[in-house]
Amino acid sequence: MEPAFVEIAEKVKARRSALKEIAGDHLERFRPDMTVQEWMEQVRAEDPELAEKLEALFRGQKVSLDRDQLKREKAWENVWQGDFEDPTRLIPHGVPGTAKSFGDFRARRGHPDVAKALDTVKQWVAELGTPIVVLAGVPGTGKTHLSQAAGLELLGKGRQVFFRTEADLVGEAQSRFASHDSEDLIEAICQCGWLILDDLGAAALGEWGKGLIDRVINNRYALAERNEGRTLVSTNLKAPDMPARMASRLQDQKLSTVLGIRAPDYRVRGK
Asked if residue 151 and residue 256 are part of one domain, the reply reads: yes
Domain membership flag for residue 95: no
Query: Which residue, of 42, 58, 89, is where some domain finishes?
Result: 89
Sign of CA dihedral 239, 173, 218, 144: negative
- Per-residue pLDDT band at 31 (split at 50, 70, 90): low
Asked if residue 218 and residue 132 are part of one domain, the reply reads: yes
Q: State the CB neighbour count (10 A cutoff) for residue 79.
A: 22
Instruction: Give the whole-angstrom CA distance, residue 188 versus residue 173.
Output: 11
Asked if residue 183 and residue 82 are part of one domain, the reply reads: no
Asked if residue 207 and residue 150 are part of one domain, the reply reads: yes
Domain membership flag for residue 104: no
Asked if residue 201 and residue 122 are part of one domain, the reply reads: yes
Which phi and psi angles does 232 have, rounded to 5°? -115, 125
Beta strands in 43-158 (DSSP E): 132-136
pLDDT recorded at residue 147: 92
pLDDT recorded at residue 3: 44
Domain membership flag for residue 207: yes
Report the pLDDT averaged over residues 7-14. 49
Asked if residue 85 and residue 49 are part of one domain, the reply reads: yes
Report the pLDDT averaged over residues 118-136. 95
| CB 242, CB 201: distance < 8 Å | yes
Asked if residue 119 and residue 78 are part of one domain, the reply reads: no
pLDDT, one tens digit per residue, over 180-198 is 567 777 888 888 889 999 9
Q: State the CB neighbour count (10 A cutoff) for residue 248.
A: 13
Instruction: Give the whole-angstrom CA distance, residue 144 versus residue 37.
Output: 30
Q: Residues of 183-205 as b/e, b for ≥16 C-beta within 10 angstroms?
A: ebbbebbbbbbbbbbbbbbebee
- Per-residue pLDDT band at 21 (split at 50, 70, 90): low
Which phi and psi angles does 121 have, rounded to 5°? -70, -35
Domain membership flag for residue 75: yes
Q: Residues of 93-119 as b/e, b for ≥16 C-beta within 10 angstroms?
A: bbbeeebbeeeebeeeeebebbeebbe
3-class SS at 80?
Answer: helix
pLDDT recorded at residue 80: 43
Provide CB contacts within 8 A for 32, sequence distance 6+. 80, 81, 160, 188, 191, 192, 193
CA angle 59, 62, 65 (to 5 degrees): 65
Specify the number of domains making up the chain. Answer: 2
Domain membership flag for residue 102: no
Instruction: Give the whole-angstrom CA distance, residue 195 versus residue 185.
Output: 13
Domain containing 132 — which CATH number? 3.40.50.300
CA angle 110, 111, 116 (to 5 degrees): 130
Sheet strands side by side (includes 230-235): 161-165, 194-200, 230-235, 132-136, 256-260
Question: Which is nearest to 5 in space by CA: 91, 110, 118, 102?
Answer: 91
- Does this model's pTM top 0.85? My answer is no
Instruction: Give the whole-angstrom CA distance, residue 121 versus residue 143.
Output: 10
- Per-residue pLDDT band at 238 (split at 50, 70, 90): confident
Asked if residue 123 and residue 232 are part of one domain, the reply reads: yes
Question: Which is nearest to 35 in space by CA: 14, 65, 4?
Answer: 65
Domain membership flag for residue 269: no
Asked if residue 202 and residue 143 are part of one domain, the reply reads: yes
Domain membership flag for residue 40: yes
pLDDT, one tens digit per residue, over 65-98 is 444 444 334 444 444 443 333 322 334 556 666 6
- Per-residue pLDDT band at 19 (split at 50, 70, 90): low
What is the residue range of 192's domain? Answer: 112-260
Domain membership flag for residue 129: yes
Sign of CA dihedral 94, 97, 100, 102: positive
Asked if residue 123 and residue 9 are part of one domain, the reply reads: no
pLDDT recorded at residue 6: 45
- Judge whether residue 42 has pLDDT over 50: yes
Asked if residue 124 and residue 70 are part of one domain, the reply reads: no
pLDDT recorded at residue 62: 43
| Alpha helices (H) along 135-192 | 143-156, 166-175, 182-191
Asked if residue 129 and residue 43 are part of one domain, the reply reads: no
